[in-house]
Amino acid sequence: MQSLSPRARALGAAGLCLLIAVVAGLAVDSRLDRHWILRGLTVLLAVACAALLLTDQTRRLRQIVTGVGLGMFGLIIPVSQTTWSKPPEIEFALQVATDAKNAAQKNAQSAVSVADVQAAAEARGGAVGSFPTEKTPQVRGADAYPLIIRAKRDQGRPWACLSFTHGLDAKVRPC
């Protein structure tokens, strides 16, 4: 049985990297910032490593280095970006966004109000706005978008920023 040629293996690796990048990008909630620029750069680096495997098969060390680069840029970085894209505070903000949108739709509103978000956050045990301290007694992000969403009422950071565009479309990002 004849093994695949180095050219076929490199093309297969490049195709696999593109598939992993697309699947990892789609696995993230659409309301989150998906870091498309970073994802695009990692795909380009993975394809560049596959191209090196495709063109030069003379030195074993170069094959090993490009293979490791292909693994890092084509698999490890895209998968870890997908896994790390939803820490607990982001997950909480997504749940609050869903609850607030459902409340607005139930009340036949065309847009999610700040009051809807505050009620949803409080119902889940969190709060809206920055945590007031001695150093910064002024509460920020509690009365206009983007709102600061805290998963625990009596805790400051970590928190997430939530805004609604076009009435009911939520956008969540770290802030």
Distance CA 44, CA 38 (A): 10
Distance CA 106, CA 104 (A): 5
- The encoded tokens of residue 26 equal 């789609």
Task: Evaluate the CA torsion angle 31, 37, 39, 43 in order and state its sign.
Answer: positive
Asked whether residue 33 carries a pLDDT value surpassing 70, the answer given is no
pTM reported for the whole predicted model = 0.61
Parallel, antiparallel, or unpaired for β 169-174 and 147-150? unpaired
Distance CA 85, CA 112 (A): 24
pLDDT interval class at 165 (50, 70, 90): confident
- What mean pLDDT, rounded, does the chain reach? 77
In what side-by-side order are the strands of the sheet with 127-128? 127-128, 147-150, 159-165, 169-174
Residues 40-88 pLDDT 10s:
777 777 777 777 767 766 677 777 777 787 778 777 777 777 666 667 7
Report the DSSP beta bridge partners of residue 161.
148, 173
Question: Largest alpha-carbon pair distance within the chain?
Answer: 74
Distance CA 162, CA 96 (A): 9
- In this prediction, residue 1 carries a pLDDT of 44
